[in-house]
Structure 1
Amino acid sequence: MASKQATIASFVEAAPPGELSNVVADIKALASSEAQSLEPAFKKYNEEQYTTVKLPGSAEAVLVSEYNSLGNGRYFDAVSQTSFEIDHASQKASGAQQHPLESSHADLVRSLQKAFAAASTEHFPSSTIGVFPTSSDSAVALLLVANKYSPQNFWNGRWRSTYLLDPASNTLSGTIKVDVHYYEDGNVRMSTQKKLELNGSSGAESIVRSIAKAENDFQAELNRAFTTLSEGSFKGLRRQLPVTRQRVEWEKIGGYRLGQDIGGGRSK
């Protein structure tokens, strides 16, 4: 059986998009003593969800992930060539320092960064990308996160893309993850992903075009799936008419007496 601390940490790691602060507030209210030692859970959440932070003195958002981790709580941004530390609980960056991009793939990283940034601006209303050489310098990671929060309408969503390019073999593998939470009068959460194998040759522009096409195709797949569910499975879950075979007059619903007006019997 998992320990109490592990169980509480799992709530942090599984927090829906844009709702980490709500989850933490609930944990502090219900188990304040355990809330003091959740730093590893916050770190895992931020790295896996591609949390974005703003560097001191900058308006540009940068990603936090395992791919740009330097260890000891520090991360780096390839564009500004800056390293920084982050408080994982508050998601605040500090301690910015110069960090030159040192990689045998530095030119490729820069060209991919430029092409990927242009494509993400074209296809997403708001997104943040990162292109980083891996720790072994054998591959280049292309990351994207796009968040859309609408708490006033009781939903939040996140799109994450991860691609690993091996320049030696010209192979490009990726994973797209989509996570949406709807919570008006209940909880409905969709979490889905798709793995991809793409062409990693012919330069940065060609690579990014293949990524954009694959992501557009996946979006179209999701749209078709939602249409099928709405017109098929979800529709089958609802009664088309009440048991009385008469349509409910919703404007009068507040005045109905259960069992008499709806069911036709006498109220008790």
Structure 2
Amino acid sequence: MRLCFPGESCGLYRTLKFCRSPIDRVTVNFGQGVSITAIQLAMALASLGNEGVLMKPLLVKEIINQQGQIVKQFKPEAVRQVVSPATAHKMLAIMQTVTESGGTGTEAAPAGYSVAGKTGTAQKLIGGRYSHSKFNALFIGLVPAEKPVLAIVVLIDEPKGAIYGGVVAAPVFREIAARTMRFLGYYPKIEPVVNPLLATKIVECNLEVGKADTEPVNGPLTVMPDFQGQTIRQVLKSLHRSGLRCHIEGSGVAVSQQPEPGVPITPESICLIRFKPES
């Protein structure tokens, strides 16, 4: 299964039926003698988080015109059931131990999120032989482990110094997962630590600030906020955490917006906010 885009590699994967020699049947079990692309790896990974159902990959979700209207949408398409839901759940449970204490991918789990993942360190094929000095370091994972919403593949080509996926690729995965989950409106399950000595000052400051200094929206939006009088930075800070997409026109402070404040919206909604310099 591929995206069918120009220049895309098809990979090389042989089933046991086509592994003729005994050595091929041994090496294929630990990843040599086969080659798959990152998108193919992501597809296989995502199927475990999707009750064992393999999905056709999509590069484009929708096409939107200059007016913000959706011209065409591309819907998810199931390919087939590759493993049973029970097997998929068992694999997720096993892969979650990789990111827990004692696992090889402890650096991959962002604070407040669970991750089901797998590290990988692969020798590169150079001149028909597997190199002993050039590697691919990988970490693949699903987050959150209990009910995945993201499948992420991180591949570092020929890392310098450390070569292991759990050391090189896992920290990159952690940063991508943490920021993307927040962008999608899924926030870490941790309690914020507040210094009691500063609590009074924080309350006092919150009472004094005006509308333009309101805190950013802390989760998916259900109604359109009122951004009147806010700066571009304040608006973008709120929208970044809420997942709402927005077109910005002008500079200064917000003077108008579409949709209007209070209008019901979804995380897929697109808004237009116009700014003008303060007089």
Provide TM-score, normalisation by structure 1. Answer: 0.28
More strand as a share of residues: 1
Q: Which has the higher helix share?
A: 1
